[in-house]
Amino acid sequence: MINPEDGVSTPNDRNGRIVTFYSYKGGTGRTMALANLAWLLASSGKQVLVIDWDLEAPGLHRYFRPFLDDPELAETRGLIDFFQEFSEGSRVEQNRRRGSTDAGEHWFDEYVDLSRFAVPVDFEFVRGGSIDLIAAGRQGPSYGILVNSMNWNEFYERLGGGVFMEHVKQRLRRDYDFILIDSRTGLSDTAGICTIQMPDDMVVCMTLNRQSIEGAAAVTASADKARRKPTGEPGLRIWPVAMRVELAEKDRLEAARRLFRERLSPYVWQLNRNARAAYWHNMEVLYFPYYAYEEILAPIADSWRSSNTLLAAMQRIGSRIFGIWYSEAGRLDDRRRAELIARFATSTVTVATPSPTGGFTVYLSYCHADFPGLDGWRAVSVLKDEITSMIPSARIFNPREEWTLGGDIRSEVTVGIREADVLLAFVSRVALRSDRCQFEWRLASEMGKVVIPVFLEKDDLLRSRLPSSLESVIGLELIEPFHWESITLQPLVAGLKNLFQRRNASPNYSAGDPDDPQKGRWGGQPFVNGYQLAARVQELDAKWFEIELTVSAPLGNLLEGPVEFHLPPWCGETIRKVVADRVSFVSIKVRSWRAFTVGVRLNKGETCLELDLATDVSMAEYHNFIAS
């Protein structure tokens, strides 16, 4: 297909185009641009693969979290696993071929298919498009070890990595229309692969300061030189993009723009003279503060009706680089956008899930070396007996007893922690070196579980080496596990019992908290000047409720701008913000075990609404919830 504006031809279907997104410095919005353009391409019916090649600081998956089965990548293998798998296979093959006449030219065919590591973005694009994601790798404690142990010099010089990657490119082109690569910043081995060997096009993102411009220009010159054809013709299309442009300080902005054009214009060879004049203006992305605070996609957060948005900027860039427009068919209506915005909001915080049976599950996380042999088994048995004697309904999840022989330990750990109410983290020098223990502690914290450190050694350095999420937790000391007795364990077990009683207390919907700091803070009225705050409540089980809070505009009016919902701490976030873009209503969903007062600010703070769920919503509405 030909873009009539600049005369650039793009490959036919299934002769896919590989595009690297590069920035010399971090914080430019490079990953954001890639994710948004991938969405626009898929909305235009294209089969798109996005690859997180920023192995040292992966984050591309966060833009697709609501649409991933494993949003935290706890179980998702990725690019680093792909490279490690090939490297190990190459070493085995070299050992096999020693003294053999077999050339083994195609031995690596089984490793070439990178799409084996792809996971789908679960969204139904109306024109049949799709996005697959290849993450950097499984985000567990061992991830950093894998990345740091990868020897790129050996990969290219001894293991045949260069030839292998050419075959990988051919396979990717057959499988996808577009392959978008999120490259490492700066100068590194992986950045070199992304900017020189892999791409047909390189999108160079930079902020308009001298360091960013000069650094990006130097890397661009290097990539352009390396990809020149024997005839001297350029072999790499380069697309400079100015990101996070601030319109203040007009004189300084114009000076930075001039430097940007002067340093990068020699590499925009693919544009004809007429197209170049408009290029520099169209390839600017203004700074939108809303996108600085969370990873959300512009086709979801922005209305396509407005021209001064991040979505509009991404459309201009997409039409220039890829020759595509965000078609009418791919655009989301306001109701659908509101639903997806809520999914992004709720995916940023994970709230602890109550035990559906009203029971109480305690997960024991310890290093086996701290409890060796028969004495260790007896020590753990004493702890279990003490807990169950105080909390008869308690279930003790001991991984050492419940793991399946030959099973996937990481998967079983994830399931066990998901079902648990509290995790006891037995901390020792040995446990701090255990990848499994570190994974368990981090995962439990991210899932919103109660994590109690139990120190097995008297060493002040142990606390300083805990994961950051546990540094402020007081914890307990049980220095001699093999001599645990009832009196020794009493503080720990009493604390667990207290936690159990609080978790299983009957929810109070007949009255609010007399000390509720929200009460009266927002004017006390759910209906002000035609704006209304309402709640619908669905009973999840005997203890928990899902509450849908909706703010609607007066008849004939539309909501526009931030709408802030102010909530109690147990709802996960104390402030949930939804940006309304000329819609009749916005809503969010929260979970709670009791009634509370919610406050809302909108119209730049000029309108405040308040709703007390204990008095303004009748009991009948709680128990006879009707979905809208």
pLDDT band per the 50, 70, 90 thresholds, residue 133: very high
Per-residue pLDDT tens for 159-178? Answer: 888 888 999 999 999 999 99
Residues 6+ apart with CB under 8 A from 393: 358, 359, 360
Q: Where are the domains of the chain?
A: 17-332, 360-503, 527-623
- For 355-367, what is the mean pLDDT? 73
| Range among 4-13, 517-526, 611-620 rated most confident | 517-526
The model's pTM: 0.56
Q: Is the pLDDT of residue 588 over 60?
A: yes
**What homologous superfamily does CATH list for 17-332?**
P-loop containing nucleotide triphosphate hydrolases (3.40.50.300)
Q: What is the pLDDT of residue 332?
A: 81
**What homologous superfamily does CATH list for 360-503?**
Toll/interleukin-1 receptor homology (TIR) domain (3.40.50.10140)
Domain 527-623 top-level CATH class? mainly beta
Q: Is the pLDDT of residue 508 over 70?
A: no
Q: For residue 218, what is the enclosing H or E element?
A: helix 210-226
pLDDT higher for 624 or 186? Answer: 186
- CA–CA distance, 538 with 595 (Å, rounded to integer): 13
Q: Is the pLDDT of residue 467 over 50?
A: yes
Answer whether 360-503 and 527-623 agree in fold. Answer: no
Q: Is the pLDDT of residue 326 over 80?
A: no
Per-residue pLDDT tens for 51-69? Answer: 999 888 888 999 999 999 8
Per-residue pLDDT tens for 94-116? Answer: 777 776 655 556 777 888 899 99
Q: What is the pLDDT of residue 33?
A: 95
Task: Determine which of 110-124, 254-268, 543-557, 576-590 has the lowest per-residue pLDDT on average.
Answer: 543-557
- CA–CA distance, 361 with 422 (Å, rounded to integer): 7
Residue 36: φ, ψ to 5°: -70, -40
Amino acid identity of residue 25, one-letter, is K
Average pLDDT of the residues of the chain: 80
